[in-house]
Every structure is written in structure tokens, then in C-alpha cells.
Amino acid sequence: MADVLILTHIDYCPPAHLAQVLQARGCSFDVLRVDLGELHGYDLERPKAVAVMGGPMSVNDPLSWIADEVAALQRFIARDIPIIGHCLGGQLLAKALGASIRRMAYTEAGWQRMQRRPEAADSPWLAHVPAAFSIFQWHGDTFALPDGAQPLLSSQWCDNQAFAWGDKVLALQGHPEMTKELIELWLDDWAHLLDASQPSQQSIDEIREGLSEKVRLLNQVAEGFYAHWLKLAGL
């Protein structure tokens, strides 16, 4: 088993840039499809760090594997190892910490500008980010803040974009892991799910405009999150 465990839930939401960062650092990692039962039998005492990726399902869907994953996350939290959640992964972390997840009245999609929350002034998770930056979004659910959480980021359409819990848990509502190729895949296969008439969504043309530079800046933001996460794990 590897030092880093990555939990995924669908082919369309791979670790993407996170995997590139781990490979460049020479970190060993396992990627499991939780929805296919691959978490069963995995030694939860082994990983030194855990990442939880996204997916189109809701934490509130009646899927048997969701309870198994939440229980595994609760074990990782009890072990006090670094955990980072992306979109659905952030919502699963919120649920594991006792918070509710609700459906929003709209979908937030595209490049959304983040605002740093006042409570986040001293957060080491945000030490690397500029005053203004964007994270790619595609979600219709949002998490409440667990008891004891430190709110970190918000956007115009989603108050709770990120929180830290303790010093080793980071839950993100957005997708810092995106690559240009993955965004293009989503736009090719999921374009029918977008509705540019909603002010909370960007059009496909807006998403693609200057895409290479937007992804380059996003990669820098992601690498800061991942560097701190790996440092906490001693990796």
C-alpha cells in the first residue's frame, strides 16, 4: 500500500493535477473507486495522507457506499492524518464531521472568484494564494460548516467554498485539481447540463476563454494546497 490514498467516485473525476504533483514529488499513491467497492478491505491504518475527489452524485443520495466512505473518513480524522476534499469530497468530509449538505437553488459552474473570509487571516492553507484568484466550479450542492470549523473562502454564489477543521483537514467546494484536458472533457460530454442563462453559470465560451492561462494559475493555487497537505504528512 502507498503513503497517499486517493478516493474517487467516477471516471470523470480523476486526481488529474494532483496525480501530476505526486508523481513529480516521487510520492507513492493508491487510487480507489469507492463506488465500485474498492475501499472494502483496504487498511485504513496505512495511509499517511488522504485526498477525496469529486463526482456528480449527492452525499444525500441513497447509495450504500457513501456510508462506508463517510465511516472511513471518520477513521482518518480520528487518526489525525492530513485530508483534502474536492467538491463532493469536501461535502463528504463535512458529513463525516457532522455537518449537513443541501441542494442549492442553482448550479455554480465555471471560473468563480474567491473571497477570503475574515476568519481565515492566519490560515496556513491560504498562505500561498493571491488576494484575488479563481477556482473552477461545477456543483449544485453545498456544505454547512461543521462545529469547530474555520471558514476560509466564499464566492458570490456559494458562501461556504472552503473550511479547515483542526490543522489537518481541508474541504474545498471547487475543483483545484482540474487540467485543461479534463475541463475540455467535461465541456464536451456534459455541455447539456449547463445553462448560461443562469447568472451563477458561465457559458462554454466564457469557460474556454484564455483557458491555458486560467489553468496555469489554478495549478499554482492547487500546488500550494497540496504542498501544505503533504508537508503535514511528512511527505
Which residues lie below 8 Å from residue 166, measured CB to CB, with a gap of 6+? 80, 148
Provide the pLDDT for residue 220.
Answer: 97
Q: Output the pLDDT for position 130.
A: 87
Collapsing DSSP to helix, strand or coil, 81 comes out as coil
> Which pLDDT does position 12 carry in this prediction?
95
**Which pLDDT score, from 0 to 100, does residue 124 have?**
97
Q: H/E/C letters for each residue in 147-162?
A: CCCEEEEECCCCCCCE
Q: How far is CA 105 from CA 20, 86, 138, 160, 199, in A?
A: 35, 21, 14, 15, 12
- Predicted confidence at residue 184, as pLDDT, reads 97
Domains annotated for the chain, with CATH where assigned, are: 4-233 (3.40.50.880)
233 Cβ contact list (under 8 Å, min separation 6): 3, 4, 48, 49, 81, 82
- Taking residue 121's Cβ as centre, other Cβ atoms within 10 Å add up to 8
| Per-residue pLDDT of the chain in tens (235 residues, 90 and over written 9) | 799 999 999 999 999 999 999 999 999 999 999 999 999 999 999 999 999 999 999 999 999 999 999 999 999 999 999 999 999 999 999 999 999 999 999 999 999 999 999 999 899 999 999 888 999 999 999 999 999 999 999 999 999 999 999 999 999 999 999 999 999 999 998 888 888 889 999 999 999 999 999 999 999 999 999 999 999 999 9
Which alpha helices (H) appear in the chain, and where do they start and end? 17-25, 64-79, 88-96, 180-190, 204-208, 211-233
Instruction: Identify the pLDDT of residue 197.
Output: 87
Q: Give the span between the Cα atoms of 226 and 232, in whole angstroms.
A: 10
